[in-house]
Amino acid sequence: MMIISTQAPADDHILSELIDYGLKIRAGEIDDDTFTVHLYAADPGCDLLDERQWKKANPALGDYRDIDEFRAAMKRATKVGSLEARLRNLYLNQRVQAKAPFLSPDVWRRNNRPVLEDLLYDGRPVYGGLDLSYRTDLSALVMAVEDDQRNVHLIPRVWTPGDTLDERGLRDRAPYRVWANRGFLVPVPGEVLDYDFLAADVGELSASISFTTVNYDQWRIDVLKQSFNRLGVAVPLQAFGQGYKSMSPAIEIFEELAVKGKLFHGGHPVMRWCVSNAVIEMDAAGNRKLTKSKSFGRIDVAVAAVMAVAACRLQTENEVDVESMVA
């Protein structure tokens, strides 16, 4: 039997166990002349831009393996944190965990430029991402609009129950009360989110904003649609899956804009916190989606932002939910 593969991300994977067994044979710790391993891998923790390390993992680099593409990919990985784990595994053949930060702090800071909210109201297309939570957490609508230079401006609208700000702030280790006082959170009266309140708020926005498409996560959307219908709110909703198939290209275009410094967010603290809580989860094919890095973190605004940028910049096969536009 012959096995040819890049390394698995974890020590307890069967491929990792086979490699470790072969390395022990090579080191003389085990006597077995029926088994051998040839491992081409960069040193653990090596500099991503060290071309000597590239060669260790890629003997054909510069021959039939394109070194220019390799250089471009590794350079990008130094700027986009979520790519590093994937490239260390697939390009450097290192045994690394698949989860990686969504965006590096440096990349996020690079896009901390003022957002022009007036762009929402001058008749140009506005796109949205809507992520609903449990009634006791954060829900968010992030609006994405392009300026004349094709920079994408992100403007979040974040709702959370107003009567439990302090206790949930302790639970989530987040200054909800401060954010609410400064206008970065909308405290909804009560201990749970009133979807009629959310629907009315979205309806007020849609009265003066030309929404083209609002991508949404289907979690609890039926309840919000009932509120829309009850209040006569018409919004062009479009379902957006949260799995690898839909999220992977959305994450890619989001990262591309961020790396280029064309994703203006104005330093919105709730969105920054949610982005910092998000990590990338990859499937076996290298497709990616967002997940939380820790139990107490929230990523709702980050997910809504990715869906908004996808609505703005990606062509999708999904059709607009026309029924949702009928009051």
- Please report which confidence band the pLDDT of residue 322 belongs to, taking 50, 70 and 90 as the band edges: very low
Asked if residues 146 and 124 have their Cβ atoms less than 8 Å apart, the reply is yes
Mean pLDDT of 143-172: 94
Which of 78-92, 209-223, 288-302, 307-321 is predicted with the least confidence, judged by mean pLDDT? 307-321
Identify the residue with better confidence: 261 or 317: 261
Q: What is the number of domains present in the chain?
A: 2
Identify the residue with better confidence: 324 or 79: 79
Does residue 97 surpass a pLDDT of 80?
no
Which of 99-103, 125-129, 147-151, 230-234 is predicted with the least confidence, judged by mean pLDDT? 99-103
Q: How far apart are CA 28 and CA 25, in angstroms?
A: 5
pTM of the model: 0.73
Q: Is 244 helix (H, G, I), strand (E, B) or coil?
A: helix
Question: Rounded to 10 degrees, what is the CA torsion of 208, 321, 290, 209?
Answer: -10
Domain boundary among 65, 97, 129: 97
Nearby residues of 88 by Cβ (< 8 Å), 6 or more positions away: 42, 48, 94, 96
Mean pLDDT of 156-177: 92
Q: Which residue type sits at 227?
A: S
Does residue 321 surpass a pLDDT of 50?
no
Mean pLDDT of 87-115: 85
For position 286, what pLDDT does the model report?
79
Domain presence at residue 102: no
Mean pLDDT of the residues in the chain:
89
Domain presence at residue 48: yes
CATH of residue 249: 3.30.420.240
Q: Which domain holds residue 135?
A: 108-325
Same domain, 146 and 284: yes
Same domain, 130 and 92: no
Q: How far apart are CA 105 and CA 83, in angstroms?
A: 14
Q: Which residue type sits at 213?
A: T
Does residue 327 surpass a pLDDT of 50?
no
Mean pLDDT of 249-270: 94
Asked if residues 112 and 268 have their Cβ atoms less than 8 Å apart, the reply is no
Same domain, 38 and 166: no
